[in-house]
Amino acid sequence: MILRRATDALRNQEWFTVSIELLIVVLGVFLGLQVNDWNESRIENRQSEEYTSRLVADLRIEAWNYDVMIGYLDEVRSNADRALAVLEGSVEASNKQLLVYAYRATQFSDSVRRRATFDELTSTGKIGLIRDPFLRDLAASVYTRAFIDRVSEEGAFAPYRIAFRKLLPVALQEALVQDCGDRFVAVGDYSAIQNQLDYACEPKVSPEQVDRAANLLRNDSEILPLLRLQAVNLRTHVTLFTFSNQDVLQGLHAIAGEAR
């Protein structure tokens, strides 16, 4: 309709009418583009808010996981030190205490990771939707440093852990797992981080089983040097979390805030 009126006006040399009609067309196109831009901006802002909220939630779980791993590794290290002191003869302890220390020195923890949001953002090229540079940089540091998974893997295949599991009777190991193993910690529960492993326990094994197992530990030529290696490696793992990656730890604690 507008085009036909403009054509008629142009044919009749009605320049004012032509100008008005063209102005209406230009304004219509401009407003259409502007509305489209507003819609795209609104959608992008909503996506940014949603992804940011999801990423913050994921990083709060990562913050909890860092604290869990630090606490757990430190408890395993403490038990390795106690078992080492007993086997080296610098500290006296009952055979049952030695077994508990030596068993707990073998333990490791699988880390709880929450990286789905970061992986989605990077795989789709939408990481720019995270507009807070602190949050974006922290996420990149958390999810691109592979030491957490490496610590868990090294713990699972530690030479001392393998030697201990080869040496002692299966029934005895099952009793230690049942009565002196890891306590369940719900994801996000900061109150349960302490004493995940370090708590009073009484394995249900006979005195004869205890004495035989303790003698195996004391007389095996591999156990003591492997336990020393375990104690040193555990110190390295704790240092990785608390010192080498303290920038990440501090950033995660800032994200966790009052949840800790």
DSSP secondary structure string for all residues of the chain: -HHHHHHHHHHTT-HHHHHHHHHHHHHHHHHHHHHHHHHHHHHHHHHHHHHHHHHHHHHHHHHHHHHHHHHHHHHHHHHHHHHHHHHHTSS---HHHHHHHHHHTT---------HHHHHHHHTT-GGG---HHHHHHHHHHHH--HHHHHHHHHHT-HHHHHHHHHS-HHHHHHHHHHHSPPP--TT-GGGSTTSS-S-------HHHHHHHHHHHHH-TTHHHHHHHHHHHHHHHHHIIIIITHHHHHHHHHHHGGG-
Q: What is the pLDDT of residue 32?
A: 62
Confidence check: pLDDT of 125 > 90: yes
Residue 205 or 146, more confident: 205
In this prediction the pTM is 0.82
Q: How confident is the model at residue 216 (pLDDT cuts 50, 70, 90)?
A: very high
Residue 141 or 5, more confident: 141
Q: What is the mean pLDDT of residues 152-162?
A: 95
Confidence check: pLDDT of 201 > 70: yes
Q: What is the mean pLDDT of residues 153-177?
A: 96
Which has the minimum average pLDDT: 10-19, 63-72, 164-173, 177-186? 10-19
Lookup: tokens for 82: 């106690």
Q: What is the mean pLDDT of residues 113-120?
A: 95
Q: Please give the share of the chain, as a percent, with pLDDT higher than 70.
A: 83
Residue 139 or 2, more confident: 139
Residue 16 or 41, more confident: 41
Q: How confident is the model at residue 110 (pLDDT cuts 50, 70, 90)?
A: confident
User: What is the per-residue pLDDT across 58-86, written as a single tens digit (0 to 9) for each?
Assistant: 999 999 999 999 999 999 999 999 999 99
User: What is the per-residue pLDDT across 226-255, written as a single tens digit (0 to 9) for each?
Assistant: 999 999 999 999 999 999 999 999 999 999
Question: What is the average pLDDT value for the chain, to the nearest integer?
Answer: 89
